[in-house]
Structure 1
Amino acid sequence: MFKRLLLLCLVAGAGSCALAQERQTENVIIITLDGFRWQELFAGADSSLIYEKDYVHDKSVLEKFWDSSPVARRQKLMPFFWNVIGAEGQLYGNRELGNRVNCANPYWFSYPGYSEMMTGFVDNGIRSNDKKENPNATVLEYIHKQKEYTGKVAVFSTWNVIPYIVRAQAHGIPANAGEEHAIGDTLSDCEMLLNALQPILKNGHGERYDAFTFFYAFEYLKRERPRVMFISFDETDEHGHGGRYDEYLKSAHHTDRMISQLWQWLQSQEDYKNKTTLLITTDHGRGHISRKAWKNHGRLIPGSSQMWFAVIGPDTPVLGEMKNEAQYFQKQVAKTAAAFLGIHYENTEPVGEVIESMFIPELLSDSRIMDLHR
């Protein structure tokens, strides 16, 4: 029987057997949950924090998110991650299983993290969160320069520094962040409503709610049909610094729901269905040694470099929670995201390698991931 199947494949040549291994991804969406720990992603609500009255004012989170089983807790907190990505994609970073993901940069806070993620390498000169343009080229501008993707890349973020990190303005990439209104000349009714509500509804941290970021991005996606998007959420980090573990959990849960809504819509659209890969991650971890440590992060706070990845798409093997012992780094995101589009990403410095386990093996040959400049 095996010999007959092999013979059929050989006879077909470039036919059905070869076509089964063609790259399907035509669109990539990178999503980040700022400062969201791997501990909550893989084990749900932390028992040492959810009962701490200084950090939990809203007791309803106990009923919503608590269970004696870590597996049940994580499903309650992040149902899309575990019921959909866990069943159809991959999740990396459960250190209890030896599967580790880390920042390669030594600073363990936002700007260095996002820069490493978007450039593919560590610039030790980036050591603040100042609103200054990144001195290094990013994978988004690299993709944007390709003829097929010019005008098809967009950025939406809650934190108003993200456009500077990805150098959006300098390279003509549409970007919306902080208190900015919707992008475009012809806006939907939803976008006009969001523009009117945003100055009224503040989240108390000087930035907008993540829901505004999501719906601005969602409406732009419906209207402009971009091929590559970066959507960056921020509330988990803000509530972490504010010491509100209840709000931190609720924000993570709300973000999970928004990503679920996005995925369901993508899978209902002919130009996105089974042609889109979501790559989801964070910019840094948080402390874990003491009860107070979870509020902060940085090079002096153990655990701050520990992070995670999640991926779902047509070219990713269904492996669920990755249980193999392995070490991955944030700097691998850039080249991996480009590889899903068949683009070989390079920069002035060596960049982190493609995370090969995220791909069907046959798609990683040199003939299938090519530098479009050549």
Structure 2
Amino acid sequence: MERLFKVTAIIMLLTSMSIKAQQDKNPNVFLITLDGVRWQDVFTGMDTNLLNSDYTENKELLTSKFMGSSLEENRKLLMPFFWNTIAKEGQLHGNRTKGSKVDLTNKMLFSYPGYNEILTGKADDENIDSNDKNYNKNSTILETANMSNGYKGKVAAFGSWDVFPFIINDKRSGVPVNAGYMDASGDLNEKEKFLNEIQRQAPIVWESVRLDVFTHHFAKEYVKKNHPKLVYISYGETDDFAHGGLFDFYMKSLQNTDALIADLWSFVQNDPIYKDNTYFIITTDHGRGEGIEEGSKWTGHGSDVKGAEHTWLAILGPDVKAIGEVSNGQLYTNQIAPTVAKILNLKIDAEVMPGNPLELN
């Protein structure tokens, strides 16, 4: 009897290991958003009109950091990971000067509707017309994955903005969400305990949006411990600095966010579970004004701001055709969630997510 018990235990262990190994072979996706970052900033670098406007406090410093001898050099100085890595190994869509367009399908053109469209694959102007903390009635791709057999308990979300528990509907979806000034919970390592301790000791610039460095490291520590298969990370500083008319901080924050994404990619490519089996899909929830004149102010966005519907998209991963900066073509934000579903081999209802998945290879 004892021998039979031991044999049974060994079989169960081997079966468990086999299932885990198979799960680890399934692709991983990191969906990342940068709040309110314009396509112009990504593809053309620092805006000289804004540099020379009242929105800039230290023109000399920004010039020394972000101005080179060409447009290509300028954008590389601002976002080196995008232009040294993604442009060589992945795809960048949304440079409208080259005929590549990425647009929202929602008509609100601000954050909650934008994130809903990214995460659910469908605009919902009828029900989502504010940034209020209302639980989303729509199911996100995070929820869809978490309800599936292959990805249940392997989904997590992190955001700087404190509305994300409502957008993702953490109560219904079961997706763990750490956003705003929420502490990490559960069996914490020393770094997570330290982050909990210091995130409110650092300057609190906005009560509803914490500094991105905390969001990043909460996410990274969780990923290192738990190796989720689908991770959503939303960096938020850029939009709030822009709303405040702080062009200096907006530029520095955008460069810093690029570095945080680079740090995450470096970790992924050096982790045996994630290496060569992980996709990064990076985008924004909305555009913003194109200039300094009333009606097109860079500080704002929304249905009354020209250009706020224009966004961009970056993709990096094992089966992504390395075509770099794309010329010509029209993509829409509602295609992102179906693309995640396709990568993860999740079955979705075309009526629920009507956008077509992107052709990655």
| Kept after mapping to 2: 8 A contact 1:86/1:321 | yes
SS at match of 2:298: helix
Distance 1:257 1:334, change over 3 A: same
Question: Structure 2 length normalisation: TM-score?
Answer: 0.89
Q: Which residue of 1 aligns with 2:11?
A: none
Q: Which residue of 2 aligns with 1:300?
A: 304
Which stretch shows the higher mean deviation, 44-53 or 289-298? 289-298
CA distance in 2, matches of 1:25, 1:351: 24
Shift of 1:60: 1.7
Q: Which residue of 2 aligns with 1:197?
A: 198
1:83 aligns with 2:84: yes
> Which of the residues 330, 335, 338 maps onto 1:332?
335
Q: Which residue of 2 aligns with 1:172?
A: 174
Question: Structure 1 length normalisation: TM-score?
Answer: 0.86
Which residues of 2 match residues 154-165 of structure 1 at below 5 A? Answer: 154-165=156-167
Which stretch shows the higher mean deviation, 341-350 or 214-223? 341-350
| Kept after mapping to 1: 8 A contact 2:159/2:235 | yes
Deviations 1:277-318 (A, max 9, x none): 000000000011435611100000001000000000001000
SS at match of 1:333: helix
SS at match of 2:178: strand
| Kept after mapping to 1: 8 A contact 2:337/2:353 | no
CA distance in 1, matches of 2:104, 2:117: 8
SS at match of 2:279: strand
Which residues of 2 match residues 54-203 of structure 1 at below 5 A? Answer: 54-57=55-58, 59-125=60-126, 126-183=128-185, 185-203=186-204
| Kept after mapping to 2: 8 A contact 1:278/1:313 | yes
Q: Which residue of 1 aligns with 2:248?
A: 246
| Kept after mapping to 2: 8 A contact 1:25/1:314 | no
Shift of 1:200: 1.2
Q: Which residue of 1 aligns with 2:19?
A: none
Distance 1:214 1:223, change over 3 A: same
| Kept after mapping to 2: 8 A contact 1:280/1:311 | yes
Deviations 1:213-266 (A, max 9, x none): 000000000011100000001000000000011100100100000100110110
Query: How large is the Cα RMSD of the aligned pairs?
Result: 1.4
Tell me which amino acid in the other structure corresponds to 1:122: A
1:226 aligns with 2:228: yes
Shift of 1:25: 6.1
Distance 1:234 1:114, change over 3 A: same
Shift of 1:120: 0.8
CA distance in 1, matches of 2:57, 2:343: 41
Shift of 1:34: 0.2
SS at match of 1:279: strand
CA distance in 1, matches of 2:92, 2:293: 26
Q: Which residue of 2 aligns with 1:351?
A: 354
1:309 aligns with 2:313: yes
Deviations 1:61-95 (A, max 9, x none): 21111124111010000000010000000000000
SS at match of 1:80: helix
Structure 1 residues without counterparts, runs of 5 or longer: 1-23, 361-374
CA distance in 2, matches of 1:203, 1:82: 32
Deviations 1:326-353 (A, max 9, x none): 1111111100011111223326535211
Which stretch shows the higher mean deviation, 338-347 or 122-131? 338-347
SS at match of 2:150: helix
SS at match of 2:282: strand
CA distance in 1, matches of 2:166, 2:281: 21
CA distance in 2, matches of 1:169, 1:109: 24
SS at match of 1:149: coil
Q: Which residue of 1 aligns with 2:215?
A: 213
Tell me which amino acid in the other structure corresponds to 2:148: Q
> Which of the residues 237, 241, 250 maps onto 2:239?
237
Q: Which residue of 2 aligns with 1:8?
A: none
SS at match of 1:148: coil
